[in-house]
A = this chain, B = another copy of it.
Amino acid sequence: MIPEGFLFSAINADINGSSSEKEDLGLIYCKHPAFVSGAFTKNLVKAAPVIIGIDLVKKGAIRAIVANSGNANACTGDAGLTDAFMIMKCVASELGVGQQEVIPLSTGVIGVRLPAEKIIKKIAPLVEGLSPDALRFARSIMTTDTYPKICSEKAGRAKVLGIAKGSGMIAPDMACLAGRQATTLAVVLTDAKVDRQLLDIITENATEASFNAISVDGDTSTNDTLLVLTSNMIDADIADIKDAITNVIRELAMMVVRDGEGATKVASIMVKGTKTDQDAKKVAMCIANSLLVKTALFGADPNWGRIMAAIGRSGVKIDPNIISIKMGGLSVVDKGLEAKDFDEDSIRNVLSVHHWRSGPSARGGLKEILIEITLGDGPGRFKAWTTDLTYKYVEINSSYRT
């Protein structure tokens, strides 16, 4: 379900030199200038494409996105910026648009120069290959992802399409138009007529409750980027389009966390009862990032003490004596103590549920472990998602580069 006004392409450019035949260079072309909003990593070590992207998004309208996997173009200094500019220039020239209308995206290993000449040689055939096939683009940005991440939603006659990659170095912390870096790349395309400022607000709100609420390993990347583009071709109800964009962004974030490196389980961590949403977020992310919680999840170990310890060290002022915890709807902790009806076997069953490793079409039918934490009667609330920490995670990350 492709929104009006966009075309896609992908090609193999052997960017990481492994001679793999996987497509690793992708292109999105906007037939007319598209409004763009963006959220970028808050990491102070920003990849070249992030530095460039932050600048271009401010200008507000673009014509193309050129993306590569296999190399992050991060920690590459001025040479990295020059490489990106050369590629943007070549794409612009082939498409007949301005260089400042082409946004680069990169993901992969840090600290290695992008093979710009290799890439440039492939740009003419890349442009020739433009078609409505968005899935090929989605595949071209995959790294350790086990499946391409793509989803869509309708808002009246208007369409919203989302494409993402990401499975490791996942703890996105993106600020809209303020620079964030990540191994999470996400592009959302719509044809709905949306005011530029409104698009910024929708993007910002949707990011906070989705990509900024997931954690695989707590490591915020140097390349994280979310771009939201609209071709402004179809009239649509603004509330509907807001919901559709929000849903698509959230679904992409869920696809990323489900595909977390080595993950076999996904847990949602709902924290409520704090003074502010920000407090709830701090507690939720502290639990989501706890190695002891993540390994207990892997072992289906009803070790609620690890959750209590994470709550206590989150930096939020809490009263341990009013904490309550439920897992899968069952009471585990009540007023800071083990609940009277705590049943270890039942909770072990709750924690034994594996999520279904979904392909691109797998909305629904997915299982997540519900962990609910109440810290008082305040209005603050936040929901985070995390994965278990497995042998496979260690395997993947102790041999990524080599």
> Does A74 make an interface contact (CB < 8 A)?
yes
| CB-contact partner of A305 in B109, B289, B311, B397, under 8 A | B109
Instruction: Provide the bound-state CA to CA distance between A42 and B309, in Å.
Output: 11
Q: How far is the CA of A181 from the CA of B181 in the complex (A)?
A: 34
Q: Is the C-beta of A169 less than 8 angstroms from some C-beta in chain B?
A: yes
Residue pair A220, B313 in contact (C-beta under 8 Å): yes
Contact A219-B292, Cβ < 8 Å, known A111-B305, A305-B111, A312-B43: yes
The bracket for how many chain A residues form the interface is 35 or more
A304: chain B residues within 8 A (beta carbon): 75, 110-111
Q: Is A394 an interface residue (CB 8 A)?
A: yes
* Residue among A221, A304, A306 with the highest chain B CB neighbour number at 10 A: A306
Residues in B neighbouring A221, C-beta threshold 8 A? 309
* Residue picked from A43, A111, A304, most chain B C-beta under 10 Å: A111
Q: Assuming A46-B320, A217-B291, A220-B313, is B308 touching A75 (CB within 8 A)?
A: yes
Q: A45-B312, A301-B402 are in contact. Are A397 and B109 (CB under 8 A)?
A: no
Whole-angstrom distance between the alpha carbons of A390 and B391 in the complex?
8
Interface residues of A (CB under 8 A from B): 42-46, 72, 74-77, 109-112, 168-169, 173, 181, 217-222, 289-292, 295-296, 298-299, 301-306, 308-313, 317-318, 320-321, 323, 333, 335-338, 389-391, 393-395, 397-402
Whole-angstrom distance between the alpha carbons of A401 and B298 in the complex? 13
Q: Among B44, B308, B311, B389, point to the contact of A317 (Cβ < 8 A).
A: B44
Which residues of the other chain, B, contact A301 by a CB distance below 8 angstroms?
A: 398-402
If A75-B336, A308-B222, A394-B389 touch, whether A303 touches B181 (CB-CB below 8 Å) is no
B contact residues around A336 at 8 Å (CB): 75, 77
Known contacts A75-B305, A109-B305: does B222 contact A397 (CB below 8 Å)? no
CB distance from A335 to the nearest CB of B (A): 8
8 A-B contacts (beta carbon < 8 Å)? A44-B312, A44-B317, A45-B313, A46-B320, A72-B305, A75-B336, A75-B338, A220-B312
Q: State A255–B121 Cα separation when bound (angstroms).
A: 56
Contacts of A303 in B (CB 8 A): 109-110, 400-401
Of chain B, the residue at the smallest CB distance from A295 is B397
A171–chain B nearest beta-carbon distance, Å: 8
CB-CB under 8 A from A317, the residues of chain B are 44
Contacts of A397 in B (CB 8 A): 291-292, 295-296, 299
Give Cα A401 to B292, complex, Å: 11
Q: Chain B contacts of A333 at CB under 8 A?
A: 75, 111
Give the chain B neighbours of A112 by CB distance below 8 A: 338
The CA-CA distance from A44 to B304 in the complex, in Å, is 16
Report the Cα distance A313→B181, complex, angstroms. 9
8 Å CB contact of A217 from B219, B292, B305: B292
Bound: A104/B393 CA distance, A = 39
Given known A-B contacts A46-B320, A217-B292, A222-B312, A306 and B110 have beta carbons under 8 A apart:
yes
